[in-house]
Structure 1
């Protein structure tokens, strides 16, 4: 059984803590500076919490689940045993953000969006690993496989593309949902009206061999008359009008190549 210390108390830390608590690994401690969230995450995972670096527990693996810009600072500030694996969970941060004094540096990146209080099944989440040397890779992989059925190796360069793909597929897609909500509100209509459309769009993309094969709408048909009417409705929002025009052009250009 691997002993794990989880460093952080944000959305990802909460989901990781709950997943580890149900696995064959032992979550021995949450270390977090947030006096409200730290104890709450520890309670959800049934483990202990501390905000005192001098009381950091001894473990085999230290998972640093903090904001991207804080990874190096947090790792450097803690007295972690040199024999332990020290891994951060950030998709776009290179492995060398962890100070070189830690010989067993790693990345442990779950590709998913996380929200406090929302349950996700870690078994379905791809986890991407990178290690500073190959000698401890099997150990980290064994731990990862207690959480997920999909564990792959990806170096920092590959992971940058994975993270970028996630931004388009998740963050940007959600921003478009929000744009749809705002457009409906201009007509005095409620957001729930497009929820079935959002659900079916995501479901089709997940079951298709490629999302491009299930693309629909005026852009893929090159219906310029409808697009012109839509752009007119966006005349009071030039930024969104530009987004509409750019994405429509992208859909048409890529659909011609299918």
Structure 2
């Protein structure tokens, strides 16, 4: 399949290379920062940097919008689509209806629309095994859905048809499971750095915590710690220490109360 990308961030970086590896042709990449587009194009075999968002003469059969949610409206105002193309976004929260509405407002030609959402955290420098990445698919019509399913199956063993509402719920859960968890790791490191202690000492604990959570039928079953035990003396000592970090103290209190209620 001939595919073009709008956006050259972390998602596009991994997805474009995975699609090419699966035998698809990445025709062109556009990014408002041409340096990012050039870096991605240099990783691909026969791809050009698109100078602007006029894809009217593009050979692409599929255009993937791998841009931030807040940028989607601005991109659609400037995007010129080729005839009979499929247009998808990779967002966890933007609905298919929103994309269809933007096409209706801004595009002079009709487009088949869909969602191609990889449920994964992406960092440019960290390799991704795409066969294990859940790909969530939604489309405006059955034929487009079939095409996107086949494309997803070329990449991953985990492909789901998922409505916009289901995808939004999944995205909220993913923020708790991934973004918030990583933020807590970062807080731990900042605290230890301030006291000249080694964050590496926590890594075996982190690995074991994640392993148990993944293997348990419900992560709540393997919850440990002073909040789980109701050990108020330890909790008070922790809170006393955290007076030097008021923001962390408040977060500690909220999470402790949540665990106790659970």
2:4 maps to 5
The range that moved more, 245-254 or 11-20, is: 245-254
Given that 1:219 and 1:251 are in contact with CA atoms closer than 8 Å, whether structure 2 keeps it comes out as yes
1: distance between equivalents of 2:52 and 2:200? 45
2: distance between equivalents of 1:45 and 1:179? 37
Q: Does 1:33 align with 2:32?
A: yes
1: distance between equivalents of 2:95 and 2:178? 21
Which residues in structure 2 correspond to 1:190-209 (within 5 Å)? 190-209=198-217
The range that moved more, 127-136 or 229-238, is: 127-136
Compute the displacement of 1:54 (Å). 4.1
Question: How far does the alpha carbon of each residue in 1:79-104 deviate from its partner, in whole angstroms, 9 at most, with x for none?
Answer: 21241110000111112332233441
Given that 1:125 and 1:148 are in contact with CA atoms closer than 8 Å, whether structure 2 keeps it comes out as yes
2: distance between equivalents of 1:222 and 1:177? 23
| SS of match in other structure, 1:205 | helix
1:63 maps to 64
1: distance between equivalents of 2:238 and 2:4? 52
2: distance between equivalents of 1:76 and 1:156? 22
Given that 1:64 and 1:75 are in contact with CA atoms closer than 8 Å, whether structure 2 keeps it comes out as no
2:195 maps to 187
Q: Does 1:92 align with 2:93?
A: yes
The range that moved more, 77-86 or 114-123, is: 77-86
1: distance between equivalents of 2:214 and 2:24? 31
Aligned length: 253
Q: Does 1:107 align with 2:115?
A: yes
Given that 1:12 and 1:114 are in contact with CA atoms closer than 8 Å, whether structure 2 keeps it comes out as yes
Given that 2:76 and 2:103 are in contact with CA atoms closer than 8 Å, whether structure 1 keeps it comes out as no
2: distance between equivalents of 1:240 and 1:32? 38
Question: How far does the alpha carbon of each residue in 1:138-191 deviate from its partner, in whole angstroms, 9 at most, with x for none?
Answer: 111101111111111111111111110111111100110011112212322122
1:220 maps to 228
TM-score by length of 1: 0.92
Given that 1:109 and 1:127 are in contact with CA atoms closer than 8 Å, whether structure 2 keeps it comes out as yes
* Gapped regions of structure 1 (runs ≥ 5): none
Compute the displacement of 1:57 (Å). 2.6
1: distance between equivalents of 2:244 and 2:226? 21
Given that 2:18 and 2:130 are in contact with CA atoms closer than 8 Å, whether structure 1 keeps it comes out as yes
Q: Does 1:251 align with 2:259?
A: yes
Question: How far does the alpha carbon of each residue in 1:83-132 deviate from its partner, in whole angstroms, 9 at most, with x for none?
Answer: 11100001111123322334411111101111112211111111111112
2: distance between equivalents of 1:23 and 1:149? 13
RMSD (Å) for aligned C-alpha atoms? 1.6
Compute the displacement of 1:198 (Å). 1.7
Compute the displacement of 1:6 (Å). 1.5
| SS of match in other structure, 1:152 | strand
TM-score by length of 2: 0.91
| SS of match in other structure, 2:154 | coil
2:171 maps to 163
Compute the displacement of 1:250 (Å). 1.1
| SS of match in other structure, 2:178 | helix
2:107 maps to none
Given that 2:6 and 2:65 are in contact with CA atoms closer than 8 Å, whether structure 1 keeps it comes out as yes
Given that 1:19 and 1:122 are in contact with CA atoms closer than 8 Å, whether structure 2 keeps it comes out as yes
